[in-house]
Structure 1
Amino acid sequence: MTARTFDMTKRIGTRVAAGAVLTAAGAFGFASLVPSAHADTKPATTTHVAAVTKADTASKVDANGADAKGAKAGATAQDVIKLARTQIGTHEDASGNSKFNNWYIDSPLGEQNAQRIGAKSASVYKGQSWCDMFVSWLGQNTGAKGMGADAYTVSHAQWFKKTGRFGQTPKPGAVVFFAWNGGGIKGIDHVGIVVKDNHDGTINTIEGNTGNAVKQKVRDTSTVAGYGYPEYR
């Protein structure tokens, strides 16, 4: 399915079993409607959405992760991991919306991409699968440089590859892209953050939209399509 053949009128504002997500925005120049990517389709037993705080919405940053006010000068991998840990347990609500959707809708990235696809507003992201919005939120709320910001995992991975920062070595703080059925970058289904390489064929991760929540996971590296490497200080 391509952006040109995707029926926007049937998908916008609707959460379907496979999900439907818009590409993110300004960092990459991708602007299309595409199939969504998330880890687990089994609904969580309980759902709620964490409130979007002032801290969540106040940090307006550009596509490269630089704070609009110049307050941040990059971040370390541990900064990103530390922030990710504070979000463990955050659930989406019954409609499939999360605080990360809300942040993306309010961000310059969401607004810019909505304009590019001809949508009336960034509210088209409401209720869409949010694993990559979570990763983008981490990067932009820590000021991490070279992390990118996207709502669609495939285009995010393509951007890392284009910038020469995509590889096969798990490192703490790396953006990890999963392709459950293989297929390389085009087969990517899901994304998270590497916490630790266990050196036994598994990695510890923190991921959004896994069972409709932010969770810690242990993943087999055989499911990994590759890793994106932010420019940590």
Structure 2
Amino acid sequence: MAKHRISAASKTTIARAVLGATVIASALGANAVAANADTATGVAAATAARHPDTAIAAHKAGDRVEETKVNVTADQVLALARAQVGTSENSYGGGTKYQQWYAASKRAAETVARDGGNRAAYLNAAWCSMFVSWVGEQTGARPQVGWDAYTVAHAKWFAANHRFGTVAKPGAVVFFSWDGGKSLSDIQHVGFVVKDNQNGTISTIEGNTGNGRVEERIRPKSQVVGYGYPQYRA
């Protein structure tokens, strides 16, 4: 069954998941784990090297907030997200390339330091935010889409960048609360906006939805907490 959020209460349990060193070594490669144990400072330096026009704006709750121009359109991001439709997790809630990529990523080292646990925990963890992060990475829009495994932290990253609001736009990152809560702490799920249907609903592409798949969905706006706005190329 799809898991929509890594909650504060579940982090300790996830961190103790039955995934030993042998499992993560086979999924990621022992060298990948060591090679990607970068600090936040290392991530910033690598990002600046790839994007010379980057300006590091501020720190928020221990996470580095980036303001980076990218040469990627919303249509390109949505095209890749749509190409993932049908991808499914295994019976343990893992096995996706999104989880494997995140567990081996530089960001995983930062979020483990922030939230506790270990890289192996991400291999079977809720992956809706990892899916959004992966699409951003693969298209080159990651500095604007953000990357995190925790939906609340992902939304706070947009808010810290003053790019969080209540208007549905194609390519926006949409954050949901199933009971209609409007606080960032209420967020349980995340995906991409395809369009505003102008009838109280939005069309979306989401990972870790339904029975743990990437799917296109139609969602009521009443379940939306807000939207993060990547600064795509027009």
Scaled by the length of structure 1, what TM-score is found? Answer: 0.71
Equivalent residue, structure 2, for 1:148: 146
- Tell me, in whole angstroms, the C-alpha distance in 1 between the residues paired with 2:120 and 2:149: 13
Deviation string for 1:37-68 (max 9, x for gaps)?
xxxxxxxxxxxxxx99xxxxxxxx957x9596
Q: Which amino acid aligns with 2:132?
A: V
CA contact (8 A) 1:197 1:204 kept: yes
Considering fraction of residues, name the structure with more helix: 2
Does residue 210 in structure 1 map to residue 209 in structure 2?
A: yes
Judging changes above 3 Å, is the alpha-carbon distance between structure 1 residues 111 and 171 closer, same or farther for their aligned structure 2 residues? same
After superposition, residues 113-152 of structure 1 pair within 5 angstroms as: 113-116=111-114, 119=117, 121-144=118-141, 145-152=143-150
Contact 1:66 1:140 in 2 (8 A): no
CA distance in 1, matches of 2:196, 2:116: 42
Unmatched runs of 5 consecutive residues or more in structure 1: 16-50, 53-60
Matched with 2:190 is: 191
Cα 1:105–1:217, aligned 2, differ >3 Å: closer, same or farther? same
Q: CA–CA distance in 2 between the matches of 1:7 and 1:136? A: 19
Number of residue pairs aligned between Structure 1 and Structure 2: 187
State the percentage of identical aligned residues: 48
Q: Is the 8 A contact 1:66 1:74 kept in 2?
A: no
Instruction: Name the counterpart of 2:15.
Output: 12
TM-score normalised by length of structure 2: 0.70
Which runs of 5 or more residues in structure 2 are unaligned?
1-6, 19-26, 29-41, 53-68
CA distance in 2, matches of 1:102, 1:77: 25
Distance 1:131 1:6, change over 3 A: closer
RMSD of Structure 2 on Structure 1 (CA): 3.1
Residues 146 and 213 from structure 1, CA distance in 2 versus in 1: closer, same or farther, beyond 3 angstroms?
same
How far apart, CA to CA, are the structure 2 residues paired with 1:209 and 1:118?
22
- Residue pairs, 1:9-158, within 5 angstroms: 10-14=13-17, 69=50, 73-97=70-94, 98-116=96-114, 119=117, 121-144=118-141, 145-158=143-156
